Structure 1
Amino acid sequence: MSASKQGRILSRVEQRGIEPVPENQRNGAPGELFWVWFAANISILGIPLGATIIALGLNVWQAVLATIIGSFGSFALVGLVSIAGRRGGAPSLTLSRAIFGVRGNIGPTLVALISRLGWETVNTITGASALLSLCVIMFHTPAGYKDIPLLTFACVVIFVALTAVISVAGHAFILEVQKWATWIFGALTLFVAIYLVSTVNWGTLLSSKTGSTSAFIVAIGTIASGSGIGWVNSGADMARYQKTSVKSGSLVLTAAAGAGIPLTIVIGVGSILTAGGSGLASASDPVAAVRGALPVWVSVPYLIAAFAGLLMSNNLSVYSAGLTTITLGIRIPRVYAVSLDIVVTTVGAMYFMLGSGGFYGPFVTFISLLAVPLTAWVGVFLVDLIERKSYDSAALLDLGKGSRYWYWHGINIAAMVSWLVGLMVGFLFVTARVSDKVVWFSGPLANTAIGKNGLAWLVSLLLAGVLYAIFGLPQVKKQETQLERDEANRA
């Protein structure tokens, strides 16, 4: 890239909101998306996820294999949703209007927005915690959030300000930042990972016993729900600038490999540490734990890598959340939508860090529950993608009765019923467990093999997809035929 072109990218703020990108402005290539998904998943904080799956009783080799299947597989779903972005040139939830109707789409969009805001709050709290830990090491400040409230506030502001700069600038800027972040912070993460692995008791690691098939299946589901499923409704957001000539397989491969490679490395390190007897990976707060567990020359790079990885993930999430906010019906420019989402997550982070006694357990449980309605939406969306080869750009933005996507009172009954049945049946298999002593609810089928193996999300995806294939696809075929006729008449 020439210096002049790069300068234009880095100084230009994207003005487009959810309106589809004209074909003559789609110049993206799949390789760009590889860097986007790689940088969003290089966070060293994937290490505790490795501890989680080892705790299920797996040995390290099973854990690594489960990580490969769960991360590559779940991000392949992200790649499949990206195909719709290439076809329609619009964000995922905007394209979803064609499926659910301009009013019916409000439900899936609201769930997606809540999920995005929830994880952004987690990112902000953890990113600010990394900065606080750096202050403890370098300036010997108190470690608690409430010890110096002004310092905590400053750390939150720094994290969200950097997020805002990148997210507000928009698509082209994000592509450039994520590419450089992959090389710089990816290398730093790899350095820390190599050191951590060198501290492992390999005798303990190699002597661990093989876990059960059931635990292996649970581990795959845990990795999938903690990685790709949370990103699946952002696939088209980043792919809407891709050339229409880009092959579908390339989009799937770049998403799966871009995220799967760093996730396998980082989560694998967490598995190795835990299986090797290190307590670092299983610490309740892995950011704070490094202060005493590692020498300064390692803990400082660790915290910088943690902060940067969270920032790269957060700026992508906030960008997507801004588009989702507009799709929900809040008619404001994209820049203002991004700013609104940042304000919400900043207030949430400050409340939980300075005002609330506990956060991670209940909040992460809550947003993890959203994996069920999210995957039910994925089931409907991907089945629709089988028949829907094009989208009516004008109709995607038309919320009135004359819209091609108005259906019945603004709702596509086939899609809505498929989604609702999929999520309701999925919740029958779910146990919302905050801790060993605190359980919010347990579905009547939670103790079945599906519930125990953590496969509720898969049930939702498959059931919603099958129902829509039966009741919705015939309608899509008719719609495609009519759209082709209309385009022929205009020509």
Structure 2
Amino acid sequence: MNDRPTTDSALAIERRTIEVIPDDERHGTPRNQFTLWFGANMQITAIVDGALAVVFGADALWAIVGLLIGNVLGGVVMALHSAQGPRLGLPQMISSRAQFGVFGAVVPLVLVVLMYLGFAATGTVLAGQAIGHILHSDNVVVGIVVFGVLTAVVAVTGYRLIHTVGRVASVVGIIGFTYLAIRLFADYDVASVIGVKPFDFATFLLAVSLGAGWQLTFGPYVADYSRYLPRTTSGRATFWSTLAGTVIGSSWSMAFGALVAAVAGDAFLDDQVGFVGGLAGPAFVAVLIYLVIVIGKLTINCLNAYGGFMSILTTVTAFNGQTRVSSTARAAYIVGFTAVSVLIALAASADFLANFKNFILTLLMVFTPWSAINLIDYYLISRERVDVPALYSPGGRYGRWNATALGCYVIGIVAQIPFLAQALYTGPVTGLLGGADVSWIVGLVVTAAIYYPLARRTSNPPESMIYPEQVDGARTG
């Protein structure tokens, strides 16, 4: 059976899932990663994320600086994951079986799926509000359902269409956000809210953490969208294209959010989408801005649905031994995931901002150790050499469970607890730091310091890269 796509059209339904992408189906250039991640970050949730730093006490100027630093730091980690895609041709979480074992990789995968559901649900709420404004309806249910259907259609169609939507989101995002920035400076005395508060270490680190957390949570699926690039694609080019797209897009959106929160206060907090639409001015222009919001949210929501399906499939196939599924099953996974996210969106709490802040920072705690383990193993221990067939075999090189990686992962999470600064729990060390949350830094450093020396003694990487057609370890291609 020939599984190759019959057309290069963006509307051709993708057939590949968790298997290696064959060389004759690879396509695209690193700049596709720039437009995808730029478009995915030019959206309303990133605006809300940037606003959080000001809402919780930071001066607008220091919030913008902190958010930029956080986006760069987290973006570097995220882009290093992206650079794995062309060489491996695999979804991100399949490759993490090399560190955690075929069964062991399921442990972080459960948290990954919850992350995708959380982001998909919160994004669906905001996009549903925008659609409601377009339809002149106060009933957000219709908007949420319509947006859920759009997400499912694009995600089921797959990789090519997702990239196309990302390119559209990049263009309309630049136009829409530039216009909104002009309106913001025309309608408000923005200069009067910049630099009016003294530097506060705790709120500055909160801004850094919000930016870093935003980027680090892309790590578990970023390679899903670079795995179709030709195997000869430069890892460095993939890294820089991804980093530039995600940092520029997110920093732009978050800086705008920080300024909006500083000048608007409660008017923004009460209705984030409505305020942005109202800022647009005339009704017909507001409708266009709502469309910009919907397109931006559609890009990132499709990444969440696509990545969520891939993570669920990676979990299931760890135990049933499958290396791929049918197109019908693939569609069912995506539709099911999207339906659950819509149901969560419909039941979402009204206390959106506070819950979203805690959600981001909690995810940061569980994903920084995973990133540290994955990147150290791939770049420093295995040195980009992976036995791909063994990733699908519990009895192979990587085994069922990797106690070293799982133990370090748990230690990396536990080590962060004394440094947490969240609504439900504040660690004892946090008070000594003036309330600053540095748990994610602790998680990265502690995990790396423990895992690297242990992995050097216990890991068994192949002598060279082994692809499915080269199971004898001969030529690496």
TM-score, normalised to structure 2, is: 0.87
1:150-165 equivalence runs, <5 A: 152-165=140-153
Matching residue within 200, 209, 224 for 1:237? 224
- Mapped to 2, the partners of 1:419 and 1:266 lie a distance apart of 32
Render the CA deviation track for 1:299-350: whole Å, top value 9, x for unaligned: 3333222222111110111111111110111665432221121121122122
- Mapped to 1, the partners of 2:173 and 2:156 lie a distance apart of 22
Contiguous gaps of at least 5 residues in structure 1: 146-151, 434-439
Which letter does structure 1 place at the counterpart of 2:196? S
Q: Does 1:383 align with 2:369?
A: no
Render the CA deviation track for 1:176-212: whole Å, top value 9, x for unaligned: 2211221134312221222122222145135624413
- Mapped to 1, the partners of 2:91 and 2:360 lie a distance apart of 22
Matching residue within 416, 438, 454 for 1:471? 454
CA 1:183–1:443: 2 relative to 1, 3 Å: same
For 2:435, the equivalent position in structure 1 comes to 452
1:206-285 equivalence runs, <5 A: 208-225=196-213, 227-275=214-262, 277-279=263-265, 282-285=268-271
- Mapped to 2, the partners of 1:359 and 1:45 lie a distance apart of 11
CA 1:274–1:349: 2 relative to 1, 3 Å: closer
CA 1:423–1:162: 2 relative to 1, 3 Å: same
1:254-403 equivalence runs, <5 A: 254-275=241-262, 277-279=263-265, 282-290=268-276, 295-297=281-283, 298-329=285-316, 332=325, 333-352=329-348, 361-362=354-355, 365-366=358-359, 368-386=361-379, 387-388=381-382, 389-398=384-393, 400=394, 402-403=395-396
- Mapped to 2, the partners of 1:369 and 1:87 lie a distance apart of 31
Shift of 1:415: 0.5
Render the CA deviation track for 1:370-415: whole Å, top value 9, x for unaligned: 22111110010111122321222222222x3x22221xxx111111
Decide whether the 8 Å contact of 1:56 with 1:219 is kept in 2.
no
- Determine helix, strand or coil for the equivalent of 2:425: strand
For 1:106, the equivalent position in structure 2 comes to 106
Of stretches 168-177 and 58-67 in structure 1, the one that deviates more from structure 2 is 58-67
- Mapped to 1, the partners of 2:233 and 2:350 lie a distance apart of 50
For 2:474, the equivalent position in structure 1 comes to 488
Shift of 1:246: 2.2
CA 1:56–1:159: 2 relative to 1, 3 Å: closer
Which letter does structure 2 place at the counterpart of 1:369? T
For 2:425, the equivalent position in structure 1 comes to 441
Identity %: 25
For 1:437, the equivalent position in structure 2 comes to none
Which letter does structure 2 place at the counterpart of 1:47? I
Of stretches 28-37 and 389-398 in structure 1, the one that deviates more from structure 2 is 389-398
Aligned residue pair count = 457
Of stretches 185-194 and 53-62 in structure 1, the one that deviates more from structure 2 is 53-62
Decide whether the 8 Å contact of 2:43 with 2:296 is kept in 1.
yes
- Mapped to 2, the partners of 1:119 and 1:57 lie a distance apart of 24
- Mapped to 1, the partners of 2:97 and 2:29 lie a distance apart of 26
Shift of 1:360: 5.5
Decide whether the 8 Å contact of 1:197 with 1:269 is kept in 2.
no
- Determine helix, strand or coil for the equivalent of 2:264: coil
Decide whether the 8 Å contact of 1:197 with 1:273 is kept in 2.
no
Decide whether the 8 Å contact of 2:63 with 2:258 is kept in 1.
yes
- Mapped to 2, the partners of 1:281 and 1:216 lie a distance apart of 24
- Mapped to 2, the partners of 1:360 and 1:48 lie a distance apart of 8
- Mapped to 2, the partners of 1:31 and 1:273 lie a distance apart of 31
- Mapped to 2, the partners of 1:28 and 1:169 lie a distance apart of 17
Which letter does structure 2 place at the counterpart of 1:300? V
Contiguous gaps of at least 5 residues in structure 2: none
- Mapped to 2, the partners of 1:171 and 1:61 lie a distance apart of 38
1:188-203 equivalence runs, <5 A: 188-203=176-191
Shift of 1:12: 1.1
- Mapped to 2, the partners of 1:229 and 1:61 lie a distance apart of 23
For 1:149, the equivalent position in structure 2 comes to none
Which letter does structure 2 place at the counterpart of 1:448? L
- Mapped to 1, the partners of 2:70 and 2:356 lie a distance apart of 23
Render the CA deviation track for 1:35-88: whole Å, top value 9, x for unaligned: 110110111443333333235655444333223222233222111011222221
Matching residue within 407, 410, 413 for 1:417? 407
- Mapped to 1, the partners of 2:276 and 2:38 lie a distance apart of 24
Which letter does structure 2 place at the counterpart of 1:458? I
Shift of 1:174: 1.3
- Mapped to 2, the partners of 1:446 and 1:61 lie a distance apart of 24
Aligned CA RMSD, in angstroms, stands at 2.8
CA 1:280–1:249: 2 relative to 1, 3 Å: farther
Decide whether the 8 Å contact of 2:210 with 2:361 is kept in 1.
no
CA 1:45–1:404: 2 relative to 1, 3 Å: closer
1:23-172 equivalence runs, <5 A: 23-55=23-55, 58-136=58-136, 141=137, 143=138, 145=139, 152-172=140-160
- Mapped to 2, the partners of 1:180 and 1:472 lie a distance apart of 43
Which letter does structure 1 place at the counterpart of 2:308? A
TM-score, normalised to structure 1, is: 0.85
- Mapped to 2, the partners of 1:60 and 1:75 lie a distance apart of 22
- Mapped to 1, the partners of 2:105 and 2:195 lie a distance apart of 52
